[in-house]
């Protein structure tokens, strides 16, 4: 039997499978057949006579455990596979706690709280402690408690640690320790554990009850941990304790794919594994079976820039494959068009399925431009690991405000936002409004707009204030275009302030999504082909979009996959597009202040590159809207880290490609890899003009003149337009591409 599967392995894989005793580490490069090695290693243990009950295999997803168990069944049979202790950290230790929880004071039938349960409980505690839930947001507080538990910081340690106390006081949230204390006490009293407790309480159990630890050390004679680079301190300690007696621990992972530090993962666990086990045997799986030689070599050229890593030489025996294409667009909307056109062209030219394509991005907010461009070409897509842009809560909340502004009688919109952000209008008050509307035969808005006639003064006051806001929004929307109205409403409603105050990962994502919606409104109002640029017209436009989304979601068939890079971990696609390759976007501006953070971003880029099997395309925009303002963008430093011999740069030669236009031919000019590239003048990000820079009088500016701009650098005037008394200059700048500037505001020095 052994020969059957050993013949399917390369020498490195076979060596890792046959090693049984003592600690070992399998460094598995991207696409190196890691799951196959894990499967056959367990199969080999079983064939060597190891009882399946004595094998503990810890994975990071239920899907991985299920897939591995199914493969093992095919090799050794179903009975043995079913008796393995195989599953996620949380599922395995929940199972153990069911048997042992009474020893730490919990009932064996303890409840497991999900995130919403936990947030609700934190909210109740905040109310009881009379704390401001705008300052102490339940999600943020829960994140802080979660981080403490993952580092095995108890309530008492949290309360007594001067550094933690100083951090909370500096953040103006000195009561988090008290909330943690109350939260833990309430969970204990309710006989409940949250997701983090499943690991935290397991550590407590093993620490306080050595007899229990000894029991499971004797049971689990062989411990295997998948994706070891993603373990946090709590998981690391559990695995180390369980393996302390037999020392038969095998960890599998790739330090180059450690991308979950924001969830508490500690790359040092894999980098320092040898310190815990000096007798360690190391096996390196370096052959990539997934990608072309070009993609593998390009990925290697990027990751070699990281200092903190376990060195390996990943290679591929697959075909050479095409060069990596880099698309340069003038704007984020054009980037979406170029990517959509490229997908359409590739599908038709090579007889592919849309299932063969994936678009990866750093943040969920980037999906908007991609979604709209794909939709215009009738390319079906699916979003993995997140909702369609217009289905996200924060987007629906702001759109509800916009709808209510245009139509105050929109009851669903009113009920969604009347108490968001919170303004003291609770469920009881809303119920009274509904009753009053029904009894008086008025709409809810009519009751809201005249609340002082239907409700006591104290109850009516916040409702009156809300009604005045909506009336003010209606006035603004009647005078301004959709963007100005939407921007005014987003700020005045308190939504932007509310989301900006939440510094959690989720809060930052929601804040970015609101910014992206406003960018979409700005692009809508600046589209010269749209005559009606009112808020009502914009809402009609996106209403049709969301209807299409709903229909697409109900249809079956091939579709382009869209997801964040974090969500793409472990997946592979024939053709991959990584979009938004710009400084401050990827790498994120929040991840460039330390080498450790920057190296995490580089590992994320490495993961993105290695999702591609046959073709990889990277794209970036030279300008992108941020809060309605068009800002210049600089290409990502990661693009410069790819060995240039593996890259084919393409440049958009026109401001935008229309729906259905090929991104090839006249839309692009190809940089030849055979001819020398003429030197280009470089304008640093945030171009710094000379000290003697003085704007010129531009009243007599002419087409063809060369100009200098204090931000965009040097360029030539290609066109002048006068609209409603204002003159616009269309200027082709040497570095940032084409810009349209109002001469009454632009500070230009005319050079001739």
- Kindly name the residue from 194, 227, 502, 613 that is annotated as catalytic: 227
The residues, ordered by sequence, that sit 6+ positions from 692 with a Cβ below 8 Å of its Cβ are none
Strand, helix or coil at 565?
A: helix
Q: Is 289 exposed, middle or buried (0-12, 13-18, 19+ CB in 10 A)?
A: middle
Q: State the residue for tokens 């310190």.
A: 275
- Quick check: is 226 catalytic? yes
- Quick check: is 257 catalytic? yes
Torsion of CA 687, 690, 692, 696, to 10 degrees: -40
- Kindly name the residue from 13, 229, 257, 564 that is annotated as catalytic: 257
Neighbours of 3 (CB within 10 A): 7
- Give the relative orientation of helices 233-243 and 197-208 as an angle to the nearest 10 degrees: 40
Chain-centroid distance, C-alpha 214: 41
- Kindly name the residue from 100, 197, 226, 498 that is annotated as catalytic: 226
Strand, helix or coil at 404?
A: helix
- Kindly name the residue from 19, 35, 124, 281 that is annotated as catalytic: 35
Rounded to a whole number, what is the distance in angstroms from the first to the last CA of the chain? 82
- DSSP-derived letter for residue 287 is B
- Quick check: is 669 catalytic? no
Residue 519 near residue 631 (C-beta atoms within 8 A): no
- Kindly name the residue from 611, 615, 624, 749 that is annotated as catalytic: 611
Alpha-carbon torsion 695, 701, 706, 710, what sign?
Answer: positive
Tell me the C-alpha to C-alpha distance, in Å, between residue 62 and each of 66, 92, 98, 134, 599.
6, 11, 19, 36, 28
- Quick check: is 34 catalytic? yes
* Calpha distance 142→140 (Å, rounded): 5
Residues, the chain? 752
Which secondary structure element, helix H or strand E, spans residue 507, and what is its range?
helix 505-526
- Quick check: is 35 catalytic? yes
- Quick check: is 611 catalytic? yes
* Calpha distance 626→398 (Å, rounded): 17
* Calpha distance 49→26 (Å, rounded): 23
Q: What tokens were used for 656?
A: 């935008």
Q: Point out the residues that are catalytic.
A: 34-35, 226-227, 257, 611
């Amino acid at each position: 039997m052994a020969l059957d599967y050993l013949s399917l392995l390369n020498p490195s894989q076979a060596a890792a499978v046959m090693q049984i005793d003592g600690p070992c580490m399998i460094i598995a490069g991207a696409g190196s057949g890691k799951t196959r090695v894990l499967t056959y290693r367990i199969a080999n243990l079983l064939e060597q006579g190891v009882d399946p009950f004595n094998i503990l295999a810890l994975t990071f997803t239920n899907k991985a455990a299920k897939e591995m168990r199914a493969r093992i069944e095919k090799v050794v049979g179903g009975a043995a596979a079913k008796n393995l202790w195989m599953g996620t950290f949380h599922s395995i230790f929940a199972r153990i706690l069911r048997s042992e929880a009474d020893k730490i004071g919990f009932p064996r039938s303890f409840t497991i709280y999900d995130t919403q349960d936990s947030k609700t409980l934190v909210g109740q505690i905040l109310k009881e402690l009379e704390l401001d839930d705008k300052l102490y947001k339940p999600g943020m507080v829960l994140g802080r408690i979660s981080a403490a538990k993952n580092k095995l910081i108890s309530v008492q340690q949290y309360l007594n640690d001067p550094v933690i106390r100083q951090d909370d006081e500096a953040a103006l949230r000195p009561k988090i320790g008290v909330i943690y204390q109350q939260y833990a006490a309430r969970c204990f009293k309710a006989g409940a554990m949250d997701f983090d407790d499943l690991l935290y309480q397991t550590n407590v159990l093993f620490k306080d009850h050595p007899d229990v630890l000894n029991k499971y050390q004797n049971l689990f004679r062989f411990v295997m941990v998948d994706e070891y680079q993603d373990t946090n301190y709590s998981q690391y300690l559990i695995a180390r304790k369980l393996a302390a007696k037999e020392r038969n621990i095998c960890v599998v992972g790739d330090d180059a794919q450690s991308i979950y530090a924001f969830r508490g993962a500690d790359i040092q666990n894999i980098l320092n594994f040898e310190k815990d086990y000096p007798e360690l045997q190391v096996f390196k799986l370096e052959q990539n079976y997934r990608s072309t030689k070009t993609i593998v070599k390009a990925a290697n050229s990027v990751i070699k820039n990281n200092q903190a890593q376990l060195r390996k030489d990943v290679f591929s025996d697959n075909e050479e494959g095409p060069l990596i294409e880099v698309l340069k667009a003038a704007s984020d909307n054009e980037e979406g068009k170029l990517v959509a056109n490229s997908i359409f062209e590739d599908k038709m030219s090579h007889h592919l399925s849309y299932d063969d394509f994936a678009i990866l991005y750093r943040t969920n907010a980037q999906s908007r431009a991609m979604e709209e461009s794909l939709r215009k070409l009738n390319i079906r897509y699916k979003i993995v690991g997140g909702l369609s842009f217009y289905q996200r809560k924060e987007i629906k909340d702001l759109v509800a405000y916009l709808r209510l502004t245009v139509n105050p009688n929109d009851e669903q919109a009113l009920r969604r936002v009347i108490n968001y952000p919170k303004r003291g209008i609770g469920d009881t008050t809303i119920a009274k409004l509904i009753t009053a509307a029904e009894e008086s035969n008025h709409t809810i808005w009519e009751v809201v707009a005249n609340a002082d006639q239907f409700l006591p003064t104290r109850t009516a006051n916040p409702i009156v204030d809300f009604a005045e806001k909506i009336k003010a929004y209606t006035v603004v929307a009647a005078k301004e275009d959709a963007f100005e109205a939407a921007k005014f409403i987003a700020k005045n409603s308190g939504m932007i302030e509310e989301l900006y105050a939440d510094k959690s990962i989720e809060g930052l994502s929601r804040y970015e999504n609101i910014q992206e919606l406003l960018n979409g409104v700005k692009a809508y109002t600046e589209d010269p082909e749209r005559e009606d640029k009112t808020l009502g017209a914009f809402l009609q436009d996106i209403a049709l979009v969301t209807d299409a989304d709903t229909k697409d979601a109900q249809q079956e068939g091939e579709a382009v996959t869209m997801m964040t890079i974090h969500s793409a971990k472990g997946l592979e696609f024939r053709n991959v597009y990584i979009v938004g390759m710009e400084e401050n976007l990827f790498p994120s501006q929040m991840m460039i202040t330390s080498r450790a953070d920057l190296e995490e971003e580089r590992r994320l880029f490495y993961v993105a590159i290695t999702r591609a099997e046959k073709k990889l395309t990277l794209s970036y925009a030279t300008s992108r809207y941020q809060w309605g303002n068009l800002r210049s963008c600089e290409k990502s430093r990661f693009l410069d880290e790819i060995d240039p011999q593996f890259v084919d740069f393409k440049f958009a030669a026109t401001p935008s490609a229309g729906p259905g236009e090929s991104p090839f031919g006249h839309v692009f000019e190809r940089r030849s890899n055979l001819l020398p590239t003429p030197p280009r003048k470089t304008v640093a990000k945030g171009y710094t003009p000379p000290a003697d820079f003085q704007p010129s009088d531009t009243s007599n500016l002419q087409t063809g003149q060369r100009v200098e701009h204090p931000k965009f650098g040097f360029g030539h005037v290609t066109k002048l337009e006068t609209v409603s008394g204002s003159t616009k200059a269309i200027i082709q700048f040497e570095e940032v591409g084409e810009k349209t500037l109002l001469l009454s505001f632009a500070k230009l020095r005319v050079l001739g």
